[in-house]
Amino acid sequence: MAHSVLDFSSFSALSAEETHLIETSVAQYGAPLLLLDCDTVRSQYRALKAALPDVTLHFALKPLPHPAVVRALLDEGASFDLATSGEVDLVASQGVPAENTIHTHPIKRDIDIRDALAYGCQVFVVDNMNELEKFIPYRDEAEVLIRLSFRNAEAFADLSKKFGCSSESAIKMMTRAQELGIRIKGLSFHVGSQTTNPNKYVEAIHACRAVMEEAIELGLPALSTLDIGGGFPVSYCSKVTPIKEFCRPINAALATLPETVQVLAEPGRFIVAPAVMSVASVMGQAEREGETWYYLDDGVYGSFSGLMFDHGDYPIMAIKQGERFPSVLAGPTCDSIDVVAEHIMLPKLENGDLIVTRVMGAYTSATATDFNFFKRAQTVVLNDMVADQRMIG
């Protein structure tokens, strides 16, 4: 495996190697860019795998649905978590075996179910009776996980507001599924994205164990699977607990489950967030109320969309060194909300100077738009499986 010259997850100043890579990439492709390092994707996957040794990791594509990420993870032996037919198409195009996938969108159209089944994915998620009944025609092929909800106000995205059901509803659905001849494989939950307190998982695991025990007491078929979802945190400007330590109480809770229960997880952010660095360049500047405003060629409607959709607090820096002054970084569009950072300390920049941001892999380009016809940043893929050291893609 090629050794990465980058340390995208560090918060230190840019190394000479990083600066060289950034400058030569911009010279070759122009700005704005996203530098995606597949070796960081691999090392993040390995770190989580080592922290959760008995858990099958299904990478959730949504934070960074890029073919090079799929290739790197497939090569590492990862499994995948799909939510749409577009995501089915992406993994299928990269040769992911369907038996290594699950489909976890709790609300699906019939065509979504049929597309996934046609590919060969056979595990789905439901959280309500209406959805369960959609599986009557597919009961011979499909198996179902029931998603429970546990509210989490601290997470970046409290995914249990929109999805998931109570323990009581889960039992009712299991009873109904038995009548309908639909196989319930197990339970799932998602504690919320960027959950910084592992006790959220611990509480959810214990609640799921209680549902599994109740099902057995009621004479329902035993559940074979628990899917503990995504949500594993990464350090942005604020640091989080290292993953090994973070997962220790989760492993302890999982050890209380019957040995027959197979455990899955659906990490998204943790795998890809530190694998991307964004590079924008200064298009123009103005003095406003004692601060210099620098107008970049990437902004809130582009790679920095996570400032709106993901509470992003990304480490932003200039390549140039020197005495620093309070400054504003704005995006290129004509909209006044398109401001990336206010009162940020930066050296005096010239037009064309570069602004670099770390930890830009999750929920950034995935939610970018073409608003005002400003083109999205191009992705430069580093250490890809199939291509040169560096390619645009």
If one asks whether residue 266 binds ligand PLP (CB under 6 A), the answer comes out as yes
Q: Please identify, using beta-carbon distances, which residue of 108 and 328 lies nearer to ligand PLP.
A: 108
- Dihedral, CA atoms, 378, 383, 388, 389, nearest 10 degrees? 90
If one asks whether residue 229 binds ligand PLP (CB under 6 A), the answer comes out as yes
Least separation in angstroms between residue 371's CB and ligand PLP is 23
CA distance 254 to 248: 10
Q: Which residue is nearest to ligand PLP (CB)?
A: 230
Distant-in-sequence, close-in-space partners of 321: CB < 8 Å, separation ≥ 6: 347
Burial of 317 (0-12, 13-18, 19+ CB in 10 A): middle
Burial of 72 (0-12, 13-18, 19+ CB in 10 A): buried
If one asks whether residue 63 binds ligand PLP (CB under 6 A), the answer comes out as yes
Least separation in angstroms between residue 292's CB and ligand PLP is 35
- The answer to whether 48 and 78 are in contact (CB under 8 A) is no
Assigned token pair, 230: 């995504």
Residue from 8, 55, 62, 204 touching ligand PLP (CB under 6 A): that is 62
If one asks whether residue 66 binds ligand PLP (CB under 6 A), the answer comes out as no
Assigned token pair, 35: 């530098």
If one asks whether residue 231 binds ligand PLP (CB under 6 A), the answer comes out as yes
Least separation in angstroms between residue 269's CB and ligand PLP is 3
Least separation in angstroms between residue 55's CB and ligand PLP is 13
If one asks whether residue 230 binds ligand PLP (CB under 6 A), the answer comes out as yes
Please identify every residue annotated as catalytic: 334
If one asks whether residue 383 binds ligand PLP (CB under 6 A), the answer comes out as no
Least separation in angstroms between residue 157's CB and ligand PLP is 7
Assigned token pair, 148: 């429970």
Task: Kindly write out the interface string for residues 89-108 of this chain, putting x where it contacts ligand PLP by CB under 6 A and - elsewhere.
Answer: ---------------x----
Q: Which of 104, 100, 85 is nearest to 227 (CA)?
A: 104
Q: Please identify, using beta-carbon distances, which residue of 33 and 202 lies nearer to ligand PLP.
A: 202
CA distance 134 to 324: 60
Cis before 65? omega within 30: no
Residue from 21, 60, 123, 355 touching ligand PLP (CB under 6 A): that is 60
- Dihedral, CA atoms, 376, 3, 358, 86, nearest 10 degrees? 40
Q: What does DSSP say about strands 101-103 and 79-82: parallel, antiparallel, or unpaired?
A: parallel
Q: Please identify, using beta-carbon distances, which residue of 267 and 312 lies nearer to ligand PLP.
A: 267
Q: Please identify, using beta-carbon distances, which residue of 57 and 202 lies nearer to ligand PLP.
A: 57
Assigned token pair, 363: 């929920």
Least separation in angstroms between residue 81's CB and ligand PLP is 6
Stretch that binds ligand PLP, among 178-186, 226-234, 289-297, 335-343 (CB under 6 A): 226-234
Residues that bind ligand PLP (CB under 6 A): 60, 62-63, 81, 104, 190, 193, 229-232, 266-270
